[in-house]
Amino acid sequence: MKPICHLLIAAVLFGSLNPLHADPAQAEDVAYRMARDYIAKSFQMAPTDHSGVLGSGQAVRFLIPVTRGLDYVFLVGTDDFARDADIYVYDEVGQLILDDRRSSKLAGVQFRSSYNGTAVVYLHMARANGLASYTVLVGRRGVPKEGILNGDGNPGNESTGANALPPGAVEKK
């Protein structure tokens, strides 16, 4: 009789924990589906190492290098356990650039960087049913001014127009 009680207790506990299982694969699939529209708008999307699980009220911070004049998009895909995910983007000195605080399980923001440096991005899982998985994708569109071709078709240094050489290379004359 004792083993049957233990099995019943284990089954009840396992059944009660089941809603706490996050689904990382689903969050990743959702993020890539969200990215389709931005890829169509010429954004180069890249996965990040920013994925995981969060409970209600928890947040995670990550840093993304940005270049002045380029467009950026930050997308957050979540699984079915997420109920409300918010994203906030700050500049290096703590000024809020923009946010997405809609009451939605998906979040995404797009902006044009007005500076060279780092964007500080916060993902806040405002509401979740247990633990919710998230995946963050970053997209960039545009060419940095330093990458503009000079008159001879070679990448140049914007201020001097001199051809850029890789380290250790010798210029042939």
Residue type, 72: Y
Count of domains forming the chain: 1
What is the tens place of the pLDDT at every residue in 60-104?
999 999 999 999 999 999 999 999 999 999 999 999 999 888 778
Partners of 168 in the β-ladder: none
Q: Is residue 7 domain-resident?
A: no
**DSSP 8-state class, residue 158:** T
Q: Is residue 130 domain-resident?
A: yes
Model pTM score: 0.70
Of 94, 104, 97, 148, nearest to 128 by C-alpha is 104
Residue 139 to residue 71: CA distance in whole angstroms: 8
Give the whole-number percent of the chain exceeding pLDDT 90. 60
Domain of 63, in residue numbers: 21-143
CATH label of the domain that carries residue 70:
2.60.120.380
Q: Is residue 11 domain-resident?
A: no
Mean pLDDT of 28-46: 93
CA distance to 25, 52, 104, 137, per residue, from 108 (Å):
19, 17, 10, 9
